Amino acid sequence: MKIDELVGKSAEIRLRIIETALRAGKGHVPPAFSWVEIGVALFYGGVLKINPSEPNWPDRDRFILSKGHGCLTLYSILSDLGFFSKDELENFCGDGCMLAGHPDPNIPGVEIVSGSLGHGLGIGAGMAMGLKIRRKDSFVYVVLGDGECQEGSVWEAAMFASHHRLNNLVAIVDRNRLGATTFTEDSLSLEPFTKRWQAFGWETLKVNGHNLGQLIDNLSRAKQRTSTQPLVIIADTTKGKGVSFMEGSPLWHHRMPKGEEIQDALKELNKFKMQENDGNRG
């Protein structure tokens, strides 16, 4: 896809996220919105080596959503790509549903159970090491929230990965500067964030996490590196991106829009989608 098509796809994914959550009456919408462009770049931008008709293809790249509460983005993308039917979104979080509030490997395209934060990078490092032992050229991509980087297990995994020179491991941190209830720098400061990763032996890059061109360029470059270091891409994002009253607000994590908020949110997202569609036609 061209960049303008990917921008349009991002708008489409945001609409699908909020429509799915509203139908279910639950879901972490703002944390899902913040990594939409990251997900679109990975899955539609020619970065991930995957096969929807064979989710467990041995030569696939592995993708891990460590911040599992942001799963509505992943579910929307996987269903759109044909890993499973879009009809499954209709029953999100319903009785006996396949798509629960956090991912699990019973869902085609999902590698691990996630949502208990701080574990994705360690599992990803193990996968990356296993791929190296088996002499596979596949990569492992892990999306983390910045709030979960306050957990010690993340830094244990970071040490392990650099020690074993896992240059087939790419971490992307959704740096929206918000945890569940407050700003990360107020609860437990992460800065100087880039220097911390460098001190743990990682190659580091910073990008605008909503700029698809920057994301695709840097994610694609990961496979062309000669470095033996694992790579972390710190993606500056806005929590709740796409709905003005959610953006950057500590009030919006698990909260669902109500009353006029619903119409205001849908109006903003539909307006953005129409603008992108008009741009694509032009």
pLDDT digits (tens, 9 = 90+) for 201-210: 999 999 999 9
> Which residue is listed with tokens 């596979």?
136
Whether 277 shows a pLDDT value over 90: the answer reads no
Whether 92 shows a pLDDT value over 60: the answer reads yes
Which of 81, 49, 78 has its CA nearest to residue 62? 49
From the centroid of its chain, how far is CA 219?
A: 13
Domain range for 98? 3-281
Residues linked to residue 174 through DSSP beta bridges, in sequence order: 145, 235
Which of 44, 14, 92, 31 has its CA nearest to residue 252? 31
Half-sphere exposure of 15 (CA within 13 A, CB side): 18
CA atoms of 195 and 213, how far apart (whole Å): 25
CA atoms of 171 and 62, how far apart (whole Å): 12
Task: Answer yes or no: are the C-beta atoms of 141 and 223 closer than 8 Å.
Answer: no
Specify the higher pLDDT residue, 282 or 253: 253
Confidence of residue 273 (pLDDT cuts 50, 70, 90): low
Task: Answer yes or no: are the C-beta atoms of 120 and 142 closer than 8 Å.
Answer: yes
Residue 115 phi, psi (nearest 5): 130, -30
Count of Cβ atoms closer than 10 Å to residue 48 Cβ = 18
Q: What is the DSSP letter of 75?
A: H
**pLDDT (tens digit per residue) in 3-49:** 999 999 999 999 999 999 999 999 999 999 999 999 999 999 999 99
CA atoms of 114 and 275, how far apart (whole Å): 35
Confidence of residue 278 (pLDDT cuts 50, 70, 90): low
Q: What average pLDDT does the segment 95-124 reach?
A: 96
> Which residue is listed with tokens 């989710």?
55
Please, where are the H alpha helices in the chain? 3-24, 29-33, 36-44, 71-81, 120-133, 152-163, 184-187, 193-199, 212-221, 260-281
Q: What average pLDDT does the segment 255-277 reach?
A: 86
CATH classification at residue 206: 3.40.50.970
Sequence-distant (≥ 6) Cβ neighbours of residue 135 within 8 angstroms: none
Whether 282 shows a pLDDT value over 70: the answer reads no
Confidence of residue 281 (pLDDT cuts 50, 70, 90): very low
- Amino acid, res. 209: G
Q: What average pLDDT does the segment 155-163 reach?
A: 98
Angle at 62 between CA 97 and CA 232, to 5 degrees: 115
As for how many domains the chain has, the answer is: 1
CA atoms of 113 and 169, how far apart (whole Å): 19
Output the CA torsion sign for 88, 91, 92, 96.
negative
What's this model's pTM, rounded to 2 decimal places? 0.95
Task: Answer yes or no: are the C-beta atoms of 104 and 75 closer than 8 Å.
Answer: no
Residues linked to residue 173 through DSSP beta bridges, in sequence order: 144, 234
What is the predicted pLDDT for the residue at 271? 81
What is the predicted pLDDT for the residue at 98? 96
> Which residue is listed with tokens 């941190």?
173
Q: What average pLDDT does the segment 233-237 reach?
A: 98
